[in-house]
């Protein structure tokens, strides 16, 4: 029994996840329509749990729990609110000591070892949110897949998909799919995952 860590991210064609500091996964350049969000819902609903860095977690926790019951929002956003809120989550943080919404916290010098133990003892796909966290998992050879939703824009500046890469990252394409507004999903296996 071994789960897979799947880094899930919206990216530009040049693999940027932010154009401006502080966008944290948002930005005017993203082209998220209903069809794409329904795909997010379907994939998130199949994740056995989520592992998120503090910034990603804080952003998600500030919106999605209330969104699940907000009748002013479209049904697919309310659905994602329920999926995110109900999903078992692990928050990786050195500073947080408490979290709501079905969340436990790991942090400190043993965080990657704790995540390796989680991966070894769980089943299915575990969604990973946050570039800092994904980079640490990649360096520990624990990142199994990339699930990239590529938006048709070249940002040229901003935060990259990974904070750093010490060597070329070899991938194998597992799946691809196109969505409205020119967004294309690519799912890759990371070749050197343990």
CATH superfamily of 4-190: Dihydrofolate Reductase, subunit A (3.40.430.10)
- Write the pLDDT tens digit of every residue in 26-63: 789 999 999 999 999 999 999 999 999 999 999 999 99
Over range 81-95, report the average pLDDT: 96
DSSP string, the chain: ---EEEEEEEEETT-BS-SSTT-TT--TT----HHHHHHHHHHHHH-SEEEEEHHHHHHHHHHHHHHTT-TTS-HHHHHHHHHHHHS-EEEE-SS-----SSEEEE-GGGHHHHHHHHHHH--SEEEEE-HHHHHHHHHTT---EEEEEEES----SS-BSSS--SS---EEEEEEEE-GGG-EEEEEEETT--
- pTM score: 0.94
- Write the pLDDT tens digit of every residue in 127-165: 999 999 999 999 999 999 999 999 999 999 999 999 988
Q: Where are the domains of the chain?
A: 4-190
């Amino acid at each position: 029994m071994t789960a897979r860590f799947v880094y899930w991210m919206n990216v530009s064609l040049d693999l940027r996840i932010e154009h401006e500091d502080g966008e944290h996964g948002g930005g005017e350049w993203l082209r998220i329509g209903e069809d794409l969000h329904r795909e997010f819902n379907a994939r998130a609903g199949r994740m056995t749990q989520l592992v998120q860095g503090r910034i990603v977690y804080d952003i998600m926790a500030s919106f999605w729990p209330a969104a699940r019951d907000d009748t002013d929002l479209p049904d697919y956003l309310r659905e994602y609110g329920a999926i995110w809120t109900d999903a078992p989550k692990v928050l990786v943080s050195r500073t947080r000591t408490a979290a709501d919404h079905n969340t436990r916290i790991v942090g400190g010098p043993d965080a990657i070892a704790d995540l390796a133990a989680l991966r070894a003892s769980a089943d299915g796909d575990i969604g990973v949110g946050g570039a800092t966290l994904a980079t640490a998992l990649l360096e520990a050879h624990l990142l199994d897949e990339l699930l990239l939703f590529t938006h048709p824009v070249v940002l040229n500046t901003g935060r990259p998909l990974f904070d750093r890469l010490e060597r070329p990252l070899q991938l194998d394409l597992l799946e691809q799919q196109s969505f409205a507004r020119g967004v294309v999903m690519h799912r890759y296996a990371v070749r050197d995952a343990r």
